[in-house]
Structure 1
């Protein structure tokens, strides 16, 4: 999807301390609270959340990016969401992705475009020796995540039984690096 006035260009960058207020604002959304596991209720929670993201970058187990509207220098870029590459296991050749979109940015193609950018980056950065497939998991009742998976080429694989912290069964979608069997 090309950038338009209703679907701005996106900028993905590591999370920064300057994102605290925007993070707290985004987490006021009841839908975001429903689908995410780490609550962000206030500034202290936001700093703890950012510390988790920094630790993830350091140990290469949770590489998280703030998704911003790329305003082309017309003022501060607004936070639109988050994408994350997690559970990276180059020995097995797999990883998992996750994402969320701020309420005010939904319906503009942010999640699919950000996920596509993350997926391409991950395969370029960690393949061909270290990443063959990426999993996307969501609860069966998260229909929006199912649509995002389909739009970005993550094919439905199977239903996964509920397991903590997820109270319901889930869908497993997979995407393989281009040129691999099953692509």
Structure 2
């Protein structure tokens, strides 16, 4: 069934080129995940604080390797893009930033992030989120990026604000975590914001 409105982005917009390496302009690099990142990815998910807000656990390096393989396939199918965050002169993983729930025809995606325990409190999530957002909106042509987080996650709310995502409202009882149902803040950034 054809759309009555034009597609914002066409199939192949992402998968037609290799997933890019992105610089934040202030000392961080976002790059596609590599096989050698498996130990660091696994270690990041052993942090208890990660499980407070992330809904997945990683039980082995083999599982982490499977995630990375899957993320490469997600790029090819244009459903998700996942980047590891590093400083250019270091091989220490600082975090992850991602586009997910991508709907090319509508020019819409959600953005997610986390930082490792050693990187928290340094503005890394906000800087990486802002860089990925600029690329997605300004270079690729997405129209809207959404960012959702539990209302109880005040640090994530600060990240969203620093990255230029306006708070739009609250989705009541919209996500289940280990401790039960959470209301979720909805933030968004549009082309031209």
Task: Flag whether TM exceeds 0.5 (same fold).
Answer: yes
1:33 to 38, 48, 51: 51
RMSD of aligned residue pairs (Cα, Å): 1.7
Q: CA deviation at 1:50?
A: 1.2
Using the size of structure 1 for normalisation, the TM-score is 0.85
* 1:172 equivalenced with 2:178 (yes/no): no
1:151 is matched with 162
1:111 is matched with 125
SS in 1 for 2:91: coil
Which consecutive unaligned segments of at least 5 residues does structure 2 have? 1-23
1:144-171 per-residue CA deviation (whole Å, 9 max, x = no partner) reads: 1100001111000010122354521100
1:65 is matched with 83
1:6 is matched with none
Which consecutive unaligned segments of at least 5 residues does structure 1 have? 4-8
1:11 is matched with 29
Q: CA deviation at 1:57?
A: 0.9
Counterpart contact for 1:112–1:148, Cα < 8 Å: yes
1:135 to 141, 146, 160: 146
SS in 2 for 1:169: strand
1:78-103 per-residue CA deviation (whole Å, 9 max, x = no partner) reads: 10000001111122221110000001
